[in-house]
Amino acid sequence: MRCSKYFLSLGAFLFIFGFTSSTANAASICTFTQDLDIGVVSEEVRCLQRYLNEKGYTVAETGVGSSGRETNLYQTLTKKAVIAWQKANGVSPATGYFGPVSRAKYLALSSASILGNTSPAVNTVVSQNTSVTFVEQSAKDAVQDAINILKDARDAINDLDTDDSNYDDALDMYWDAEDNFFDAVQSFLGKNFSKSENYADNSINDADDAYDEADGGSSSNKNATKSKAKDAIDDVEILIDDARNDVNAADDDGEDVDDAEDYLDEADDLLEDAEDAYDDQDYEEVLDIIDDIENIVDDALDEIGSSSGRADKSDADDAIDDIEDELAEAWDDVDDASGDTDDAEDYLDEAEDLLDEAKDQFDDKDYDDVLDTVEEIEDLIDDALESLETYTEDDAQNAIDDVWETIYEIVDDITDAQDDGDDTDDAEDYLDDALDKIGDAEDAFDDADYEDAIRYAEDAEDLAYDARAEL
pLDDT reading at 13 higher than 50: no
Report residue 312's pLDDT band, with 50, 70 and 90 as the boundaries: low
Domain 36-98 grouped into CATH 1.10.101.10 = yes
Query: Mind listing the pLDDT tens digit for each residue in 232-273?
Result: 899 899 999 989 998 998 888 888 999 999 999 999 999 999
Q: Which string of DSSP letters, residue by residue, matches 103-128?
A: HHHHHHHHHHHHHT-----TTPPP-S
Domain residues of the chain, as ranges?
Answer: 1-17+116-220, 36-98, 226-303, 313-388, 393-469
Pair 310, 294: CB distance under 8 Å: yes
The pLDDT of residue 265: 94
- On whether the pTM is more than 0.85, the answer is no
Nearest to 259 by CA among 300, 307, 293: 300
374: Cβ–Cβ under 8 A, 6 or more apart, which residues?
319, 320, 322, 323, 358
pLDDT-wise least confident of 55-59, 114-118, 382-386: 114-118
The beta-carbon contacts of 237-244 under 8 Å, at least 24 apart in sequence, are 237/271, 239/293, 239/294, 239/297, 239/308, 239/310, 240/264, 240/267, 240/268, 240/271, 240/293, 240/297, 242/308, 243/267, 243/297, 243/300, 243/301, 243/308
CA–CA separation, 331 and 346 (whole Å): 11
Q: What backbone phi and psi angles, to 5 degrees, belong to 36?
A: -115, 135
The pLDDT of residue 9: 42
pLDDT reading at 124 higher than 80: no
151: Cβ–Cβ under 8 A, 6 or more apart, which residues?
10
Query: Mind listing the pLDDT tens digit for each residue in 139-193?
Result: 888 888 888 788 778 778 877 777 777 778 888 888 888 888 888 888 887 788 8
CA–CA separation, 414 and 459 (whole Å): 20
